[in-house]
Structure 1
Amino acid sequence: MKKNRTDFQSRLGKSHKKYFGLQLMENYFQFNDLTASKEQLNSIMNYALKRNSRIQEDPSVILHFYQAMRSFIRAGSFIAMKEKKGFINTPLEEVSPVVLGLLSEKEYQNPLLVFKKAFREYSIQEFDYFISGMAYFSLGVYQNLPERNMINPYIHLIKMLDAAYLLLERRKEKEEIKMEIPGSNQHYHDSI
């Protein structure tokens, strides 16, 4: 009797993987606001580095945020691996420093640089260690502080949040422009 094998690669081929990281980012921002995420990360960081204080929020909120950030980090890693030249790259115009945030002008032009730099310096496991350590230390009063430098991963996460939001906004703008152009949604063989 011949065994039939299902080929899952054909269903989950390259077209599925093309925007997988962006889809995960979009899902993250459907449930988490950019400003609220940055404030929550900042609050967790502040309480984690204080010796005799604990965050006042419910631990379930911190746990939910921790899990959401872990999925965000994995999405960022996936985006960093997928290199596409000119991918949502825009020319720099007059941009105020408030809009730039922590991003440099080059990073604002090409937000993929933020993810590439972050995952060159730190692995997914190191980001996991950082976010789990910050959640752990923020929830209780401990004698010891985290043993590693936690400022750099924190800055990378803040920049990745800004860059991801920027990527998604530019993707929406690009899709809106496509929808406005007549005939852009039709395939070549449909017009024959």
Structure 2
Amino acid sequence: MKNNKISLETHFWSGQEVENPFEFIEVFFEYGNLDYYKETLNQFLFHTEQQKLYEKGYPGQIFILYTAFRSFLKACFKLRSKSEKWKVRKALEKRSILEQASLTSEEYQNPFVVFQNAFIDTAFEEYEFFLCEITHLSLSPFGEEFDYDLITPFIHLTKMLDAAQIIRERGIKKIKDKKSISRDIKPS
């Protein structure tokens, strides 16, 4: 069976090509922080029903963010199958429930579950359509009616951002065999 590699297309927004999804997470969060991405995604969604442009002063930045989010989706799609070989390190201390953000306790403990669930509920192509549509609608000065679900992909994408941040903060361990013997690996 032929192994098709999915290009993350990071050169459009980061200036470098990154293919490893764990390295990608570091580059993605160096480009912008979690709050910036979540706020941008919220503004995209907010402006889908507004009759005014988002970022009227510099709409080109929206296109760059669209390409960054599209690369992020591709990395998340790759990460959905990584839980067989990789494990996220446990949190060292008990944290506030607020630090879980949009994640359940199970998702907080194992962020790979977020990526698996996201692509069970919604196909990769639907996420691409969602990104394209909210980008288009947030840059349109006209109100348009649509009859498709924007909320489900939005919720999953928000959860994937939170899960990626947890992977970045805690790091990962390689699972050596079925007995869960592991060694520490830095994600970057």
- Matched residues in 2 for 1:91 and 1:138: separation? 38
- Matched residues in 1 for 2:49 and 2:166: separation? 29
1:1-192 counterparts in 2 under 5 A? 20-50=20-50, 52-57=51-56, 58-84=58-84, 87-90=87-90, 94-171=94-171
8 A contact 1:48–1:54 mirrored in 2: no
Q: Which ranges of structure 1 fall in alignment gaps of 5 or more residues?
A: 1-18, 175-183, 186-192
8 A contact 1:103–1:159 mirrored in 2: yes
- Matched residues in 1 for 2:100 and 2:92: separation? 11
Q: CA deviation at 1:141?
A: 2.3
Amino acid at match of 1:150: L
TM-score by length of 1: 0.74
Identity %: 31
Task: Specify which structure has the higher proportion of strand.
Answer: 2
What stretches of structure 1 move > 6 A for 4+ residues in a row?
A: none
The structure number with the bigger radius of gyration is 1
Task: Specify which structure has the higher proportion of helix.
Answer: 1
SS, match of residue 48 in structure 1 = coil
**1:64 to 1:127, Cα distance in 2 relative to 1, 3 A:** same
- Matched residues in 2 for 1:146 and 1:82: separation? 35
- Matched residues in 1 for 2:62 and 2:41: separation? 10
Equivalenced residues, count: 156
TM-score by length of 2: 0.75
Amino acid at match of 2:75: A
Amino acid at match of 2:77: S
Q: What RMSD in Å do the two structures reach over aligned CA positions?
A: 2.3
Aligned to 1:16: none
Amino acid at match of 1:157: L
Q: Which ranges of structure 2 fall in alignment gaps of 5 or more residues?
A: 1-18, 174-182
